[in-house]
Amino acid sequence: MVGRLVLESLSLPWFYPLLCSSRLLRTFKCESGLVAGLFQVLVAAYRNRHVDLSSEEHIISYHHERGSSFSIPSQKLRYLNKACVISNPKQDLNLTGNSSNPWQLCRVQQVEDLKSLISVLPIWSTGIILSLVTGCQVSFIVLQAKAMDRHTFIQGFQIPSGSYGIFLVISFVLFLVLYDLVIVPLVSWALREPFRLGIMVRMGAGYIISVMCIFTLAAVEHARKKTSLSIQSGF
């Protein structure tokens, strides 16, 4: 308690000059963050749902920053382009050229950011499956290891059940080394051209292997439990 009072008393001489000079500090106006900008695109697209997007892009005027690389939105998820269409320049824009109401008119950059996020969502959502599989593997392996004979050739020593998860990491590292140093050079030599699997193919193969691992764990546990019940019924 005394130490806390000493620290607070020492900090007071530094606090008062900062408080007195706060008027001299230069402050900036807070701007909306990235998440707020994404919601602004959704709201603005809904408010401008009556806007007719013509196939002639040069007829429509889009709101964008000066010097921005995005002056015209892309054609994918075209409905969201309504969020950056300037219907009435006098009402939608202020004197500085910015949007008078960000919830009514957004920039092309904001629209493209939301489109990029939506395009990543399918790949991101598949990571949930991988997380579930990994969580099941780590916890299920520990439960199975408790029912195993974990004694080794070293007398009086047995592998702790909680350390069995390290075999997942070891197998992962060994497969990476095998893929880069053995599989890829052999396939490239056989095809007489450089060979490399794409990212989507590798992700799909990883998910399939993960599901097969869970299936194997379930089959082993089913056989173990069936054998254990048969032994108990025999006694």
Closest to 202 (Cα-Cα) out of 185, 217, 183: 183
Q: Which of 178-187, 192-201, 222-231 has the highest mean pLDDT?
A: 178-187
Going from the C-alpha of 224 to that of each of 144, 145, 218, the distances in angstroms are 9, 12, 10
Chain CA centroid to CA 42, Å: 21
Question: Between residues 234 and 185, which one has the greater pLDDT?
Answer: 185
Average pLDDT over residues 57-81: 75
The pLDDT of residue 150:
76
- Mean pLDDT of the region 55-73: 69
Give the pLDDT band (50/70/90) at residue 220: confident
What pLDDT was estimated at residue 6?
Answer: 42
Query: What is the chain's mean pLDDT, rounded?
Result: 76
Residues in contact with 214: Cβ distance below 8 Å, sequence separation at least 6, in sequence order: 133, 136, 137
Band of residue 13 on the pLDDT scale cut at 50, 70, 90: low
Q: State the pLDDT at residue 135.
A: 75
Question: What pTM was estimated for this model as a whole?
Answer: 0.55
Position 7 pLDDT exceeds 50: no
* Percent above pLDDT 90 for the chain: 0
The answer to whether residue 219 scores a pLDDT higher than 80 is yes
Intra-chain end-to-end CA distance of the chain, in Å? 67
The secondary element (H helix, E strand) that includes residue 72 is: none
* Mean pLDDT on 9-29: 56
**How much is the pLDDT for 234?**
61
| pLDDT for residue 10 | 46
Mean pLDDT of 198-216: 81
Confidence at residue 67, expressed as pLDDT on a 0 to 100 scale: 67
pLDDT of residue 5: 43
